[in-house]
Structure 1
Amino acid sequence: MTGWSVDVPEQMNDDSVEWFEYLEPENMWPAPPIISVEQLPKEVRAELQKSFGFYWNDAGACASRMRTSLERLMDHFKVRTITVATDKTGRKYRKRLDLSSRIDKFAAKIRSREYSDMLHALRVVGNVGTHGTKTVTKANLLDAYRLYEHALERLFEDKAESIKEIIKRLYKLK
């Protein structure tokens, strides 16, 4: 870990002033996980782990890697990357789908728009980080991680095991 420190004066309850040293990480390798990634597909997890490293020193690159993990998430769910389009003359051609279209197709595929707003919001953060039209802050990134973690937990929760099965198994401990 590398970084810097700052000495900051703080007023105490008795009106005295004490100096405190604060450490600000600038680089970490390997970076600690910001959200849980254990249950995720390998490709999604790999991109998120890269984003954790960039969080400390390059918010744009962090957001871009988060966006790439969304692409890998769509790949995991086998959401198409190509569609057939028709030009003005009526000829058909293959057209690459952007992430926005893939998220919409994902919603149609799972027959639920439950994740659409969440994934589109994450796409926006990733686009801003990738294209640099505005500045992505660490606070924006933490909000995005929190949202992404929520969506991923819901997408990858173990639905095969019911609560009743867990209760039965735990009662066997008696």
Structure 2
Amino acid sequence: MGTLRTDTKPFQREEPQHSRLRNRDENYDYEAGRFKGFLRCDRQQCGEIVVVAGSFTTEFHHDFDHEAEQPITHEVTTYRPHLMSPAPEIIQYPKKLNKDSKEHLLRSFVLFWVDYASCANRLRIVVEYLLDQFGIERENAKGDFLNLASRIEKLTKTKPDQADYLNALRWLGNAGSHDGNVDFNDLLWCLDMLEHAMIELFEERDAKRRTEAKRIIAVKGKPDVRR
């Protein structure tokens, strides 16, 4: 997996007139405006180019260089992307993930830079389709609709640990839908939980680790001749 890095050209930055006038009138020592530019994947086999745009602030910190006996100014610029296209894949997902889950997951990566609440809601939809893939019905025997909480409860019987993670995603998605606001760190945690839950549901890595741990304990760390 590669890393997105700034392209050879620096970001283009523009400060709107109203911002310049306000800063001048109120003696603010910073700039604020919009930026756009390109990022490039540093993995040689990839080289993907990503368009990025958003807002920026630059703070100016003044100091005095006693050795040179002259004032110096340090600039600290912070960029806040509001759009990235194509959006980076924030978490990894299994190759076996069904088409509908993958489609909404990829859309959540786009919304992550635009609106946290909308991103959380999209992750909730991923959970719905993920449960479809594992045979959790959307209706009961009478044909009545099962809400997401009821469907996750069915998963609890076989995958209690993963059910807890999916419930967290459900609640965050509810908050995004009804309140229109979610905490950034909670969103990051839920992305991490979703990644972990998908890996365990498809690959059962924890179960395999426990099996191997018991095997190594049984042979007291010595080479297992039965393998």
Q: CA deviation at 1:37?
A: 2.3
- TM (norm. structure 2) is 0.59
Say whether the 8 Å CA contact 1:48–1:66 is kept in structure 2. Answer: yes
Of 23-32 and 64-73, deviating more is 23-32
Quote the Cα distance in structure 2 between the aligned partners of 1:137 and 1:35: 18
Q: For residues 17-40 of structure 1, give each alpha carbon's deviation from its aligned partner in whole angstroms, at most 9, with x where no partner exists.
A: 511222110011221111012522
Equivalent position to 1:146, from 173, 185, 192: 192
Structure that is richer in helix per residue: 1
Q: What are the equivalent positions in structure 2 for 1:73-88 lying under 5 Å apart? A: 73-84=130-141
Identity %, equivalent residues: 32
Quote the Cα distance in structure 2 between the aligned partners of 1:136 and 1:114: 23
Partner residue in 2 for 1:8: 59
Q: For residues 120-140 of structure 1, give each alpha carbon's deviation from its aligned partner in whole angstroms, at most 9, with x where no partner exists.
A: 1111011111112x6203222
Q: CA deviation at 1:158?
A: 7.1
Structure 2 unaligned segments of length 5 or more: list them: 1-51, 67-71, 213-227
AA paired with 1:145? L
Partner residue in 1 for 2:91: 35
Q: What are the equivalent positions in structure 2 for 1:67-106 lying under 5 Å apart? A: 67-84=124-141, 94-106=143-155
Structure number with bigger Rg: 2
Q: Which has the higher contact order (CA 8 A, sep 6+)?
A: 1
Q: What are the equivalent positions in structure 2 for 1:108-147 lying under 5 Å apart? A: 108=157, 111-132=158-179, 135-147=181-193
Say whether the 8 Å CA contact 1:47–1:69 is kept in structure 2. Answer: yes
Quote the Cα distance in structure 2 between the aligned partners of 1:46 and 1:9: 43
Structure that is richer in strand per residue: 2
TM-align CA RMSD: 2.5
Q: For residues 7-56 of structure 1, give each alpha carbon's deviation from its aligned partner in whole angstroms, at most 9, with x where no partner exists.
A: 024588x8965112221100112211110125222221111110111111
